[in-house]
Chain A
Amino acid sequence: MNSEQSIIELRRSKNASRAYLRSLPLEEKIARLVDLQERYYEMLVLRAANGGRPIPEKWRKWHTARHS
């Protein structure tokens, strides 16, 4: 597969994935959002633990709200 075909295939795959996400019931979209939030927060915790930037205040508020 040459690079142009790879790009076409990647674009097709991305569009199919996004079309699937758009087709989800609203409750499922919200469940996916909650999952995204949890995973993003985990990434922020790891980044901070490894000497990176501290967890943003807004995300700390979110964590307190969600898990208190």
Chain B
Amino acid sequence: MGAVLSVLDDMQNAGVIEKYAIGGAFAAILHSEPISTIDLDIFFFFKEKQTGPVLSLEKLYDFAKTKGFTFDHEFINIDGWLVQFIESSDNPLWSEAVEDADKLTIGDLEANVIGREHLVAMWLFAGRAKDYQKITMFVDADILDHEKLTDILTRHDLLLKWEAEKWRFTGE
């Protein structure tokens, strides 16, 4: 895992990506408890904004090539971890989640990790069964700042969905 964090630092230093934060199930594990997942989601901004109609991850793949990492259209294999890069600048919720990420210390390294309340908002928006399971895990663990969550849900037009769906997570 340390190798992945080092590569992300290298990508920043090489001017490929600007900011990044770990999201998805891996972030859920760091904030809460181990659950099974195989990919590591990295939400990020490119250093240079893209102007074309179709987002290209070519710069990431070029960087991967220079480092000898294998990759396909879905993942870059960094030290045995399947890393998926998700460009986040066009999505206001994802973008805010990256900007407002927590800094967590893993061993000797510091990692940017999307905060708990932003993760919940992102999972609520996605709305798949596996997303709702992770929300339930956070609710059960009582690790959410409800004032912050309400603020995020309100600003991203998700409060009504939360009100409609929260019985699934809280049993209320």
Contacts and interface: CB of A to CB of B under 8 A. Distances in A.
Interface of A: 18, 21-22, 26-27, 29-30, 32-33, 36-37, 40, 58-59, 61-62, 65-67
Given A65-B82, A66-B80, A22 B33 contact: yes
Interface string B77-114: 10011100000000000000000000011110000000
A14 to B, nearest CB: 10
Given A26-B106, A33-B37, A65 B81 contact: yes
Q: Could you say which interface size class chain B belongs to?
A: 20 to 34
A29 B30 contact: yes
Which secondary structure dominates chain B's binding surface?
loop
B33 A26 contact: no
Contact of B34 (A29, A59, A61, A65): A29
B75 A22 contact: no
Interface of B: 1, 26, 29-30, 32-39, 70, 72, 74-75, 77, 80-82, 104-107, 140-141, 143
A26 B34 contact: no
A30 B106 contact: yes
Given A27-B107, A32-B34, A61 B1 contact: no
Nearest to A57: B74
Nearest to A62: B38
Contacts of B77: 65
Given A27-B107, A29-B29, A37-B38, 6 more contacts: A21-B33, A30-B1, A33-B29, A37-B36, A62-B82, A65-B77
Nearest to A63: B38
